Structure 1
Amino acid sequence: MGIINNIEAEIIEIGLNTFIEPTARIRGVNGKAKRIIIGDNCYIGNDVQIICDDFTLGDYCKIQHHTNIHGYLPCSIGHNAWIGQYTIIDSIGGMKIGNNCGIGAHSQLWSHIKFGDTLEGCNFLGEKKMEIGNDVWFVGHCIVSPIVAKDKSMAMVGSVVTKDMEYNTIYAGSPAQSISSKIGLQFTEVTLEEKYLKMLAYLNQFDKNSKSLKIVKNNSEVDFSNSKITYFNIYTREYTKRNTDEEVAFMKFLLPDKAKFTPYDSIQ
């Protein structure tokens, strides 16, 4: 509680192996934030500003230098996020970003519009929560209005997004429109067996003699009581988080582009 290095908040929780550069600043809109929660194995770069009264960040996230995140409504970002340099994330209207999302450099996500003189009759004044699903990717230099981006949707570089993004659909242009009929989808369906064999190959590449990491196909193969083994369930894309050195090294080996897993909400 209080001030920890460059963080000012009433409630502060910083995860294991998380590194915040000394020049980053994290606080509330008017002094101390109410709550700052940052997960394990995260990196927050030089001159990042997080000026938000209620901010949560999942595990294995990277926020690159000179990014600005601000707003007096809650801003939550899930696990495995990659946020490029000079990005702006506005939570004045509220911001929720799911797991496994990429926000390329110089992108801007806006949840409000406010400036014109309303007494004089300006019609543009509003705040609206932005909701970004899982596995969404704004490639870079994207400008995004307060939309809903459904899981696995994608906006190509330089897109200006003003309307909701549909599931596993790719957008481009200004204003952004779907181009999936021309170039396909962000994700192609992969069978469970194909995923399993690929993950076994990744594990073999990482450490073919590993005794503490195990790849499984479903929950029935997971021994939740076994704290010595980290199970990676390729069906649910979850793992039994134990925070062992080998588990952390394997997660970093998989990220950002081999495979993404999120921890089970609770070990059963």
Structure 2
Amino acid sequence: MNRRESLKDPDDLEFFDRIQKLHLSLDQEFLNQFQRSLPLNEVLIDRWERASRLGFGDQTSIYDSSLVLGNVQVGKSCWIGPFTVLDGSGGLSIGDHCTISAGVHIYSHDNVIQTLSSGRFPIDRNPTTIGRNVYIAPNVVIAKGVNIGDCCVVGVGSFVNKSFDSNKILVGQPAKCIGEVIVTDSSIDFKYF
């Protein structure tokens, strides 16, 4: 049985049909503009407006499915993908022109010690910082207290549990530096070790 068939009240049926029509219309508009088909909530919520309400920089966007906790500061022209976690409970700062891909979790706290001590010890909080022009690929986890410098690339599925200077290519679990990003006025290149 589909969802519509389960509705008995005529008002509910009318509302359901109107919502479906709205979703189809918005979905088609989004397909035409961005070549993407998204769930209803993602086409209803303006990503740039949400970012602005959160105090993020100009031209930054954040998906509706993204979880934002505590004190999170994000610079301008950032793209924050779906199903991300930005934990600023210990302080989180993300620079300008960053990509935070789908499924990325960035933490500034953990409750390991609190859990192991049956709550006798507090949650451990430590600020996390992401520099400018950082590309974080899908499903990366960044632990509390990590600082990633400017112009870094973090590879898919990496676990970053220590800090790295600028212009690094990071991959693995735990993440290791496997190369450098070389930026000049006329090009960007990658040097692997």
Matched residue type, 1:190: T
Contact 1:58 1:77 in 2 (8 A): yes
Counting only pairs closer than 5 Å after superposition, residues 8-19 of structure 1 correspond to structure 2 as none
Alignment partner, residue 173 of structure 1: 172
Distance 2:68 2:160 in 1: 19
Q: Kindly report the root-mean-square deviation, in angstroms, between the aligned alpha carbons of the 2 structures.
A: 3.1
Contact 1:145 1:162 in 2 (8 A): yes
Contact 2:42 2:65 in 1 (8 A): no
Alignment partner, residue 13 of structure 2: none
Counting only pairs closer than 5 Å after superposition, residues 1-268 of structure 1 correspond to structure 2 as 42-44=48-50, 55-71=54-70, 74-114=71-111, 116-117=114-115, 119-120=117-118, 125-146=123-144, 147-180=146-179, 185-186=180-181, 188-191=182-185, 194=186
Matched residue type, 2:128: M
Matched residue type, 2:183: E
* Displaced runs of 4 or more, over 3 A: 20-24, 115-125
Question: Tell me, which stretches of 5 or more residues in structure 2 are unaligned?
Answer: 1-40, 188-193
Residue 92 of structure 1 aligns to a residue whose secondary structure is strand
Distance 1:130 1:59 in 2: 21
Q: Following TM superposition, by how much is the alpha carbon of 1:80 offset from its aligned partner in structure 2, in angstroms? A: 0.5
Structure having the larger proportion of residues in helix: 2
Distance 2:129 2:65 in 1: 23
Distance 1:162 1:124 in 2: 20
Return the TM-score normalized by structure 1: 0.48
Contact 2:80 2:99 in 1 (8 A): yes
**Change in CA separation of 1:160 and 1:122 when aligned onto 2, cut-off 3 Å:** farther
Matched residue type, 2:101: G
Question: Tell me, which stretches of 5 or more residues in structure 1 are unaligned?
Answer: 1-19, 25-40, 46-53, 196-268
Aligned pair count? 145
Residue 105 of structure 1 aligns to a residue whose secondary structure is coil
Matched residue type, 1:126: D
Contact 1:81 1:99 in 2 (8 A): yes
Contact 2:42 2:63 in 1 (8 A): no
Contact 2:159 2:174 in 1 (8 A): yes
Distance 1:23 1:99 in 2: 26
Distance 1:77 1:101 in 2: 9
Contact 2:42 2:64 in 1 (8 A): no
Distance 1:131 1:58 in 2: 16
Q: Following TM superposition, by how much is the alpha carbon of 1:154 offset from its aligned partner in structure 2, in angstroms? A: 1.7
Matched residue type, 2:48: C
Matched residue type, 1:109: I
**Change in CA separation of 1:157 and 1:122 when aligned onto 2, cut-off 3 Å:** farther
Contact 1:113 1:124 in 2 (8 A): no
Distance 1:105 1:177 in 2: 21
Residue 89 of structure 2 aligns to a residue whose secondary structure is coil
Return the TM-score normalized by structure 2: 0.65
More displaced 10-residue stretch of structure 1: 123-132 or 108-117: 123-132
